[in-house]
């Protein structure tokens, strides 16, 4: 602590004594900011040389002749009269207000104003003193910030477009037409700039048989996207080689397990199935690799979950077990495959939307065509809103009812 009266340099007087003598009048006139005094009605009473120089006016042109608001732009004048003046009157002082002044040659001077009401000996206000700071630098800085922000937004848009494009390459552009069936799919990204790890596909095998799958890769972002690509091509390739659903998943398991040995483990849950048209309906042979159970909607409005319990997730274990079941769809029946973005949506602090909730919410849906089912789930997703934290992929297949309602 420095003792009172002791100043830097060892002197005992105030530091001003070290400066050349200051002329107060010169300090006022040539200060690095503008000074302006006006009467209460705004008429300019006194103005310093700095401000005159900035504005390009002679002293006589302003003092006693013009009011402060004459120096403002039209917008500035409105702001001054509706905000600045009333606030100043109420508070007695006001600082840091950004306005533009008009100079003699018509150019604009961005400034920051600080004003105080000066009261006389009788305690009544008799004038307003205003300090004017040149805000060119600040304006330039603000414009620079604005430009940087616009650039950042453009860049973000670009990245989001790229992510969407990549995501679209990971999903089939459009489902093929399957004669005698209706199919529909939907992909709901949880966020625009994340490439998700949900995938699905439907493709012809031989004769009247089709392969389909839907699944979910662990993790997110570009690493998940790489695995998603690998999975899609492996599944399609494996199905051509040996279309038995359990063999297709075993093949995928081997590929994934070997591809990521020793690294960060990558695995997926997936349902793979073959669809064979059979008479008026269709027969599906479905293998489950640890995925959420498919939902089966019958023509009479009843619904049930197709549990493939014991089927293990794919890619995590050297030898994984898959569970296979067969299901027949009659006219008016539908099946829905979905990822757990839907069934892991939060519906409360410690509550999640479950497969059973989905089954109950979709029962009574008649006719349950593929498009109607996807629509119904979309409405559910909307109602869950922010609770949906993960991507959601949907694939629905239905056999049209024969009473003509589906045509």
Residues at the site binding another protein, with contacts judged by CB under 8 A: 218-220, 264-265, 267, 269, 289-292, 309-313, 316-317, 321, 323, 350, 352
Complex with another protein: residue 35 or 213, whichever CB lies closer? 213
Complex with another protein: residue 288 or 331, whichever CB lies closer? 288
Closest distance of CB 313 from another protein, Å: 4
Complex with another protein: residue 117 or 323, whichever CB lies closer? 323
Closest distance of CB 263 from another protein, Å: 9
- CA torsion through residues 333, 337, 338, 343, sign: positive
Complex with another protein: residue 228 or 312, whichever CB lies closer? 312
Closest distance of CB 348 from another protein, Å: 12
Kindly report the length of the chain: 407
Complex with another protein: residue 189 or 331, whichever CB lies closer? 189
Decide if 240 contacts 301 (C-beta within 8 A). Answer: no
Complex with another protein: residue 273 or 400, whichever CB lies closer? 273
Q: Which residues contact 343 (CB under 8 A, 6 or more apart)?
A: 292, 352, 353, 354, 355, 357, 358
Q: How many CA atoms lie within 13 A of 388 on its CB side?
A: 21
Closest distance of CB 240 from another protein, Å: 26
Closest distance of CB 254 from another protein, Å: 15
Closest distance of CB 246 from another protein, Å: 13
Q: Which residues contact 41 (CB under 8 A, 6 or more apart)?
A: 67
Instruction: Please name which of 333, 326, 330, 325 lies closest in space to residue 373, comparing C-alpha atoms.
Output: 333
- CA torsion through residues 78, 84, 87, 92, sign: negative
Kind and range of the H or E run holding 381: helix 370-384
Q: What is the 3-state secondary structure (H, E, C) of 227-292?
A: HHHHHHHHHHHHHHHCCCHHHHHHHHHHHHHHHCCCCCCCCEEEEEEEEEEECCEEEEEEEEECCC
Structure tokens given for 297: 């909607």
Complex with another protein: residue 85 or 336, whichever CB lies closer? 336
Q: Is the peptide bond before 367 cis (omega within 30 degrees of 0)?
A: yes
Closest distance of CB 350 from another protein, Å: 8
């Amino acid at each position: 602590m420095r003792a009172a009266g002791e100043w830097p340099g060892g002197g005992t007087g105030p530091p001003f004594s070290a400066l050349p003598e200051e002329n107060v009048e010169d300090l006022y006139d040539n200060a690095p900011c503008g000074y302006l005094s006006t009467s209460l009605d705004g008429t300019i009473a006194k103005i310093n040389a700095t401000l005159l120089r900035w504005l390009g006016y002679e002293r006589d042109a302003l003092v006693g002749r013009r009011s402060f608001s004459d120096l403002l732009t039209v917008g500035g004048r409105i702001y001054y009269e509706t905000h600045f003046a009333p606030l100043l009157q109420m508070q007695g002082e006001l600082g840091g207000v950004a306005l533009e002044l008009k100079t003699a040659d018509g150019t604009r001077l961005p400034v920051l104003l600080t004003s105080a009401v000066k009261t006389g000996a009788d305690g009544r206000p008799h004038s307003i003193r205003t300090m004017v700071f040149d805000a060119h630098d600040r304006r330039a800085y603000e414009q620079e910030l604005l430009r940087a922000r616009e650039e950042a937004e453009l860049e973000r848009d670009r990245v989001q477009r790229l992510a969407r494009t990549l995501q679209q390459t990971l999903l089939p552009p459009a489902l093929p037409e399957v004669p005698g069936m209706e199919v529909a799919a939907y992909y709901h990204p949880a966020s625009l700039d994340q490439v998700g790890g949900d995938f699905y596909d439907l493709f012809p095998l031989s004769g009247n048989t089709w392969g389909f799958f839907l699944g979910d890769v662990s993790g997110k972002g570009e690493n998940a996207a790489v695995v998603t690509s690998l999975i899609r091509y492996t599944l399609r390739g494996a199905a051509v080689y040996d279309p038995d659903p359990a063999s297709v998943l075993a093949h995928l398991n081997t590929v994934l397990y070997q591809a990521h040995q020793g690294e960060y483990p990558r695995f997926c849950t997936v349902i793979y199935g073959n669809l064979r048209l059979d008479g008026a309906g269709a027969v599906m042979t479905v293998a489950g690799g640890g995925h959420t159970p498919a939902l089966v909607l019958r023509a009479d409005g009843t619904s049930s979950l197709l549990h493939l319990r014991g089927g293990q997730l794919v890619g995590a274990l050297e030898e994984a077990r898959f569970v296979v079941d067969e299901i027949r769809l009659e006219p008016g029946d539908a099946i829905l495959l979905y990822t757990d973005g839907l069934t892991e949506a939060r519906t409360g602090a410690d509550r999640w939307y479950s497969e059973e909730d989905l089954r109950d919410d979709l029962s009574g849906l008649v006719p349950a065509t593929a498009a109607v089912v996807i629509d119904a789930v979309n409405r559910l997703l909307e109602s869950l809103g922010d609770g949906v934290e993960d991507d959601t992929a949907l694939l629905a297949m239905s056999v049209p009812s024969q009473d003509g309602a589906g045509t």
